[in-house]
Amino acid sequence: MAERHVKVESVVGLHSRPAAEFVKTAAKAPMDVSIGRFTGESVNAKSILAVLALDARHGEQLRLRAEGDGAEEILDALAKVIAEPDA
């Protein structure tokens, strides 16, 4: 299982626009992808409602996970969406 830790850089958190871009990127993956907090709460990264329900705020650390062929590449792309909100 591949894993990335990423900090939410957007000053408004992972709100609708960056969340939609995040889910769009996650949907390209042929494997299950999850996003969550270090407290154990994680959700399906391909679900816009689940990602928005996380209510991830500016400066918060999140954990991304995926398993399978291409996991490293998809996690890199997802981390970029969160770490570079205006890219």
Structural contact between residues 79 and 4, judged by C-beta atoms closer than 8 angstroms: yes
Centre a 10 Å sphere on the Cβ of residue 15 and count the other Cβ atoms it contains: 15
Short-list 28, 29, 36, CA closest to 82: 36
Catalytic sites, residue numbers: 15
How far apart are alpha carbons 72 and 51 in whole angstroms?
A: 20
